[in-house]
Amino acid sequence: MNTFKIAVVPGDGIGLEIVPAALKVADALGEKEGFQLEKEFFPWGAGNYLKNGEFMPVNGLEILKPFDAIFFGSVGLPEVDDTLPAKDYTFKVRTGFQQYVNYRPVRTWPGFHGPLKEKKNIDFVVVRENTEGEFVQVGSQIMPDSPNGMGIDTSVFTRRGIERVAHYAFQLARKRRKKVHHITKSNTLINSLTYWDRLIKEVASQYPDVEHFQMYIDNCSANFVLRPEIFDVVLTTNLFGDILSDLGGAVMGSLGLGGSGNINPEKEFPSMFEPIHGSAPDIAGKNIANPLGTIWSASLMLKHLGEITAAEKLMAAMDKTCSEGILPVDLGGTAGTTEIADAIIQRLEI
């Protein structure tokens, strides 16, 4: 039996509901498919900050490093400074473990339709550069309280950072429908994103079998709604990808549907799997959060760990559950978080 060591960081808010729900499903799947998740829980996040003054211990990355993967909910609470969750947890893990690919799939689901009712064939992956770009948090506020005050954030795009995520996107496209749209705004960000465009074109030339298109972020946003079927792999920057993947969630029907993986493709460090959304404090503690995006993240984690058949069976069980009309509240259904998980477990094929 394959055993995987999983660091579990449920985080805050609905993370404390959707992560246990997804792990219950993953454990049931493991029993059927012959693998085991050896889990260790870490109560890190904004709640921990309120209690102990830190999101995670200073040696948090050392603690996480020996694990095969990290399964994460989300961090942030209304009573805690909201500049801290990304800075003190999420970005630390993503950059510290060189999880430079943020893999965020978008698709049409069976059993319900999102706001784009007539679009039946949406199936693409947002590949978001995950360690640099607009989110490097290099900058400062100068004389913020004076009439001449200013705030500056600098974007950093490096050759290494661009090329490695571009190669990932083109290799991914080769396994899919062989199309990459690279998203940019180089008509206005004339230093960083013209460099981004140039290097992506250089990488594209090494994949002549993959169609390559360049598209501006503003036009791309419109096309996510108007022509989502044209996309296969959407390669984009850290900030653009953050926004576009929430739009992807909305196109599917809810933010609660989006699964993701923060991937270190070389497997030098553990990768981290989490839903695309935040801790949703507005619905926390009510057992109404949609766990499907988190369960999808579990499927992505299993795939990353090599349990391909199990990962596919998990998706099939989710599809069956939705097809039968067992849907969470955000999709117009009545099933609670735990009920959805139990329904999926009942539909796992042996």
One symbol per residue from 290 to 309: x for binding ligand NAI (CB under 6 A), - otherwise; what is it?
x-------------------
Query: Shortest distance, CB of residue 317 to Mg ion, whole angstroms?
Result: 27
Query: Shortest distance, CB of residue 10 to ligand NAI, whole angstroms?
Result: 11
Q: Which is nearer to Mg ion, 132 or 242 (CB)?
A: 242
Query: Shortest distance, CB of residue 264 to ligand NAI, whole angstroms?
Result: 17
Strand partners, 105: 125
- What lies within 8 Å, CB to CB, of 101 at 6+ separation is 127, 128, 129, 130, 165, 168, 261, 262, 263, 264, 265
Binder to ligand NAI among 10, 76, 241, 261 (CB under 6 A)? Answer: 76
Q: Does 90 bind ligand NAI (CB under 6 A)?
A: yes
- What lies within 8 Å, CB to CB, of 14 at 6+ separation is 73, 74, 279, 280, 283, 284, 289, 337
Which stretch, 55-63, 96-104, 154-162, 251-259, contacts ligand NAI (CB under 6 A)? 251-259
Q: Residue 76: name its binding partner from ligand NAI, Mg ion, none (Cβ under 5 to 8 Å by kind).
A: ligand NAI
Q: Does 248 bind ligand NAI (CB under 6 A)?
A: no
Binder to ligand NAI among 94, 104, 182, 277 (CB under 6 A)? Answer: 277
Q: Does 145 bind ligand NAI (CB under 6 A)?
A: no
Q: Which is nearer to Mg ion, 29 or 255 (CB)?
A: 255
Contact yes or no for 333/257 (Cβ under 8 A): no
- What lies within 8 Å, CB to CB, of 30 at 6+ separation is 36, 37, 310
Q: Does 279 bind ligand NAI (CB under 6 A)?
A: yes
Binder to ligand NAI among 60, 161, 256, 265 (CB under 6 A)? Answer: 256
Q: Burial-class residue 132 by CB neighbours within 10 Å (0-12, 13-18, 19+).
A: buried
Q: Does 242 bind Mg ion (CB under 5 A)?
A: yes
Distances 215 to 82, 113, 187 between C-alpha atoms, Å: 32, 27, 11
Beta-strand relationship, 35-41 and 150-156: unpaired
Query: Shortest distance, CB of residue 84 to ligand NAI, whole angstroms?
Result: 9
Specify the long-range contacts of residues 198-207, CB closer than 8 Å, at least 24 apart.
199/159, 199/162, 199/163, 199/166, 200/162, 200/166, 200/235, 202/163, 203/163, 203/166, 203/167, 203/170, 204/166, 204/170, 204/180, 206/170, 207/170, 207/171, 207/173, 207/174
Q: Does 48 bind ligand NAI (CB under 6 A)?
A: no
Angle between the 292-304 and 15-33 helix axes, to the nearest 10 degrees? Answer: 50
Q: Residue 256: name its binding partner from Mg ion, ligand NAI, none (Cβ under 5 to 8 Å by kind).
A: ligand NAI
Query: Shortest distance, CB of residue 250 to ligand NAI, whole angstroms?
Result: 9
Q: Which is nearer to Mg ion, 234 or 327 (CB)?
A: 234
Residues that bind Mg ion (CB under 5 A): 242
Residues that bind ligand NAI (CB under 6 A): 14, 18, 74-76, 82, 85, 90, 254-256, 274, 277-283, 289-290, 330
